[in-house]
Amino acid sequence: MKERSVSVSRTTGETHIEATLNLSRREPTELKIELPFFGHLLHAMAFHGGFSLRLLGRGDIDVDAHHLVEDIGIVLGGAFAKVPEEFGPVARFGHAVIPMDDALSEATVDACGRPYLVYTASYPQERSGSFEMALIREFLLGFANGARINLHAHCRYGENSHHMAESLFKAIGKALSSAFAPSDSSSPLSTKGVL
């Protein structure tokens, strides 16, 4: 069976991103980005989603990490968007609820071709390490738009921002794995016949 692997890159005046996503294998995951905590979250998402991710990301983080985080979302989302284009229909829906100590997070995905983000989180600490927790929304928005998915991502509760974000990214990984699994159907799962 052919491996479901796609690559996407994007260069702007602010960032350079290269991503290879392989939904047929869990390893290797190699992340070369200048934001350690964000890399930790992406690694958790890939590992618990059961897919391989190679990502190179450079950007103007001397200005702010916003551009790099958002553009990684756009590029990684674009890789997911290519999966049904190159390999045929996907299962479409995915859902996961994941705990981590004091935190509980939920993610629901509809790989429907229509981008939409609903995101709720109230982080008790504004940063984890040097990473601003507010940037998670920028990643998720770029990702949902790039992937052309409905993404509902909720940190239900928690006392530690690190735990909340990590449980959320694990849940997103699990939900993506289910939504982008190969479909048994030869046509898109839609009453309209197209997504």
Report the interhelical angle of 161-179 vs 36-49 (nearest 10°).
Answer: 40
Contact by Cβ (8 Å): 25, 6: no
Q: The pTM is what?
A: 0.94
d(CA 146, CA 19): 13
pLDDT at 193: 58
d(CA 146, CA 36): 23
pLDDT at 107: 98
pLDDT at 184: 84
pLDDT at 2: 82
pLDDT at 88: 93
Please tell me whether residue 123 adopts helix, strand or coil conformation. Answer: coil
d(CA 15, CA 49): 26
Where in the chain are the domains? Answer: 5-179
pLDDT at 187: 61
pLDDT at 15: 97
- Using the structure block, give the residue that is written with the tokens 């999966």: 83
Q: Is the peptide bond before 28 cis (omega within 30 degrees of 0)?
A: yes
Q: Taking Cα atoms as reference points, which of 71, 38, 67, 57 lies closest to residue 146?
A: 71
Please tell me whether residue 91 adopts helix, strand or coil conformation. Answer: coil
Classify domain 5-179 at the CATH topology level. Answer: Ribosomal Protein S5; domain 2 (3.30.230)
Query: Which parts of the chain register pLDDT below 50?
Result: none
d(CA 79, CA 83): 7
Contact by Cβ (8 Å): 149, 112: yes
